[in-house]
A = this chain, B = another copy of it.
Amino acid sequence: MADNKFVYIFGNNETEGKNSMKDLLGGKGANLAEMSNLGIPVPVGFTITTEVCTLYLKNGQYPPGFEEHIDNAIKQLESTTKKNFGDLKNPLLLSVRSGARVSMPGMMDTVLNLGLNDDSVVGLAAKTGNERFAYDSYRRFLTMFANVVLDIDHEKFESTLSAMKKDKNVKQDNDLEVEDLKELVEKFKTIIKDEAGKEFPQNAREQLQMAIDAVFGSWNNQRAKTYRKLNGIPGEWGTAVNVQSMVYGNMGETSGTGVAFTRDPATGEKRFFGEYLINAQGEDVVAGIRTPQPIKALKNTMPKVYDQLVDIYMKLEDHFKDMQDIEFTIEKGKLFMLQTRTGKRTAAAAIKIATEMVEEGLIDKHTALLRVEPEQIDRLLHPNIDPTSAYEVMATGLPASPGAAVGEVVFTAEHAEEMAKNGEKTILVRAETSPEDIGGMNASEGILTVRGGMTSHAAVVARGMGKPCVAGCGEITIDIKEKVFNVGDYTVKEGDIISIDGSTGNVILGKVDLILPGVTDELETILTWADEVRTLKVRTNADTPHDAEVARDFGAEGIGLCRTEHMFFGEDRIPAVREMIMAEDIESRKLALKKLLPMQREDFIGIFKAMEGFPVTIRLLDPPLHEFLPNHEEVMEKLWELESSDASQEEMDRVKKIGERIEYLKEINPMLGHRGCRLGITYPEIYEMQAQAIIEAACELSKDGMKIVPEIMIPLVSHVKELEFVKKHITSIFESVMEEMGIKLDYMVGTMIELPRAVLTADQIAKEAEFFSFGTNDLTQTTFGFSRDDAGKFLPFYLESGILEDDPFAVLDQDGVGQLVKIGIEKGRATRPDIKIGICGEHGGEPKSVKFGHNVGLDYVSCSPFRVPIARLAAAHAVLENKQ
């Protein structure tokens, strides 16, 4: 009979389900059964299984015998409640709710008071001696039935109700007279007839059948399908239906209804937390029509009920071993639990609850770790908008670097720097940023760009700095000459105050209040536990000693990516860098590089010191040279200026030459252009200078007794011979410097794997490379053929319409890019079994991607300093989830 058991009773002595039957009974049904098993009072009812749903949707009809099962179940309810379904004198009224394995917005939710009709409402009034209650229930039922079962717009009933209140000159629904309610009922029935094209069904059994049909049907409506698609929920799961005898919170002053959490969902504090309404039905609390009372107040008004509720919540938490979100109703002083489920909570609460429950002995450390979502931690490390504040969103871009910021609008990096000197806070607004803007980005509170995606320059640098950034906000047009930006009907001038929320992408007019959560001891505890569990190492992407120290404090175990180009942009360096680029022959280029050498050496000394004891991977120069030159238009303007002044011919020639050089270096697709090792091969003296600076720095520190093992990383290799070429040069510089200094150090030469060809020939490349670091940003660009700077034109639509589930620059695309990562690892290890392999793209700090990295056997991930804690926890989750 198990195979065709369609219905599970609960709430009396014969409860048939239990908590572990969520697949069959849905979350709500299983938990109702479980509460019943625990002796907690729930209104009697039954759950129609998800199997029935699946069969019904597949075959277009119910399995044989289904109606009989329902009829039998109803009979049991009747016998328990001593009321009769469809009865005119003593009607059994029902609630009907959907309930899938996981909570699913978009499906039909709840119909209350089912079973009422024109006759039984009279019986109910008589039986309860409360005519107002009876008609109030009836008009609620009509509204809900019409809306969720007959799909009639809720607004039609609302406006009729409002008109009635206005007409009667009352404020609250409760203030309407019985006669008003009767009139409303008639009006509602007319609306139903007009809209549905037929009369409201008076037969209770027919009402029930229609409601069940509607719940099952709603599993396949468009909203539900889209939600499932987006959340990876299989269509074949189906939903259960919970049919329960009604209990009433709206039967007067000894009745009421409420929701509560067993701990504070905002802070995690261990206190019973919630609110209730006297003389109300469930939806009134949610709808916010009346202001509910805090749960503590119940202690005074109904002390016994309150004590009973406290008992129950403790029992539930003890049983489910997690914070519970509960719903209850008090009918004439008698308490009924309507629902219990795991409560949603803030990041801070999740961490507090998890650690405290371990202390309380409720759960073990591993369970605690799994109770905190890695992504949640991010919120704890950045200022956020006070959720209670109201604000005006002008536009929404990509949430490129989390946290919120407030400041005056500035349009140039220089301006931001000036303002910062005067202690003024700014938001830097740019079409896009370039490495030249770094000083200004650092000086501003946050960055807003018109173009660029999740791994655009602005986004990557901002995340590295831990600064809020909204990127790719294409709705904005900047008029740089007028010093304004326009978005929709707004015109925002330089100096106007705006706020940005880098966690949501919102761009807000004016100032919002910010709250700054700190790193708590509980977070430290969680992360320490995570470190005990994880096997994947977590390094950081850091280009300065300061970043390296921040990352170390966040638990980084080395630097996975030190981008040397960022060192080229310092005010003291850029003249020498430009001199190097402008050089017309190799000798003058070497001369310019010689000036950079001592500065680069100091950079490396600083970074090695900050990361003492941990490995440091240094990537040689990667971007195309034109990134270090001013932009062409600026130079042309300068030239015009000079022409109309009395500048010397030499000065004019100098500027003209810069212009020509920029024009010569111009590229159509710089991402695929003359950069990375292609630069290092055509201008070997650049990498030679860098190699010399690195090894001299390492030797110098080594003299002081510090142990340094530099890892030199060659970018943008597509062919093993490129690596071979560069490695030969580096090795020869290293050996000769070490010989000169009389020091022998270990060092490694490896490569980024960031081009599909590098992956496909990783077996050949591993002959030369001692380590691999997957540059998943560039690999994503080339694998998809998406420019991260230009994808803003179509990627948002792709995400909205479900063509892509995630932004592949934020979440590693496992199907495509991930397949390449796997191939690269396999081929690399086939040649060199002990090759060290990591990821240093932005994905290195994204939980799903970190877990993927663990599962495919990476040795480490490397991410921006502020994401190190996230990666640590995600790496632990990966281990624990695999155990499950």
Contacts and interface: CB of A to CB of B under 8 A. Distances in A.
Interface of A: 432, 451, 477, 660, 664, 667-674, 678, 681-682, 716, 718-719, 721-722, 725, 754-757, 760-761, 764, 778, 781-787, 789-791, 793-794, 797-798, 801-804, 813, 815-817, 819-820
B681 A761 contact: no
B721 A802 contact: yes
Given A718-B785, A721-B803, A674 B790 contact: yes
A486 to B, nearest CB: 11
A726 to B, nearest CB: 10
Nearest to A817: B757
Nearest to A785: B755
Contacts of A803: 681, 719, 721-722, 725
Contact of A801 (B451, B725, B790, B804): B725
A794 B719 CA distance: 14
A816 B757 contact: yes
Given A716-B785, A722-B803, A803-B725, A790 B669 contact: yes
Contacts of A754: 785
Given A667-B790, A673-B787, 12 more contacts: A667-B787, A668-B671, A669-B671, A678-B793, A721-B804, A725-B803, A755-B783, A755-B784, A756-B785, A757-B785, A760-B819, A761-B815
A794 B672 contact: no
A672 B790 contact: yes
B757 A783 contact: yes
Nearest to A816: B757
Contacts of A794: 674, 678, 681-682
A672 B786 contact: yes
B820 A669 contact: no
Q: Which of A674, A793, A802 has the most C-beta atoms of chain B within 10 angstroms of its own C-beta?
A: A793
Contacts of A789: 667-669
Contact of A797 (B673, B682, B764, B783): B682
A804 to B, nearest CB: 6
Contacts of A719: 803-804, 816
17 contacts: A477-B660, A669-B672, A670-B787, A670-B790, A671-B785, A672-B672, A673-B787, A673-B790, A674-B793, A755-B783, A756-B782, A756-B820, A757-B813, A760-B815, A761-B816, A764-B815, A782-B782
Contacts of A722: 803
A601 B781 CA distance: 36
A635 to B, nearest CB: 14
Contacts of A790: 667-670, 672-674
B787 A669 contact: yes
B782 A785 contact: yes
Nearest to A450: B664
Nearest to A625: B793
Nearest to A819: B760
B672 A718 contact: no
A672 B785 contact: yes
A760 B785 contact: no
Q: Which of A682, A784, A820 has the most C-beta atoms of chain B within 10 angstroms of its own C-beta?
A: A784
Q: Which of A722, A785, A791, A798 has the most C-beta atoms of chain B within 10 angstroms of its own C-beta?
A: A785
Contacts of A669: 669-672, 787, 789-790
Contacts of A477: 660, 664
Contacts of A757: 783-785, 813, 816-817
Contacts of A787: 667-673
Contacts of A451: 668
B785 A778 contact: yes
A760 B802 contact: no
Contacts of A784: 718, 755, 757
Nearest to A718: B784
A674 B795 CA distance: 9
Contacts of A760: 783, 815-816, 819-820
A800 to B, nearest CB: 11
A787 B671 CA distance: 8
A784 B722 CA distance: 12
A801 B721 CA distance: 10
Contacts of A785: 671-672, 716, 718, 754-757, 778, 782
Contacts of A756: 756, 782-783, 785, 816, 820
A678 B721 CA distance: 35
B668 A718 contact: no
Given A757-B784, A760-B819, A782-B756, A797 B670 contact: no
Q: Which of A668, A678, A754, A817 has the most C-beta atoms of chain B within 10 angstroms of its own C-beta?
A: A668
A685 to B, nearest CB: 14
A757 B782 CA distance: 9
A454 to B, nearest CB: 15
A389 B670 CA distance: 42
A781 B785 CA distance: 9
A725 B800 CA distance: 13
A804 B719 CA distance: 8
Contacts of A716: 785
Given A669-B671, A670-B790, A783-B760, A681 B816 contact: no
A621 to B, nearest CB: 14
A735 B682 CA distance: 56
Nearest first, the 8 A-B pairs at minimum CB distance are A672-B787, A669-B787, A757-B816, A673-B790, A674-B793, A668-B789, A755-B785, A756-B756
A808 B77 CA distance: 77
A222 to B, nearest CB: 16
Contacts of A725: 801, 803
Contacts of A798: 681
Q: Which of A664, A782, A819 has the most C-beta atoms of chain B within 10 angstroms of its own C-beta?
A: A782
Contacts of A801: 681, 725
Given A670-B669, A719-B804, A783 B786 contact: no
B674 A672 contact: no
Contacts of A816: 718-719, 756-757, 760-761
Contacts of A667: 787, 789-790
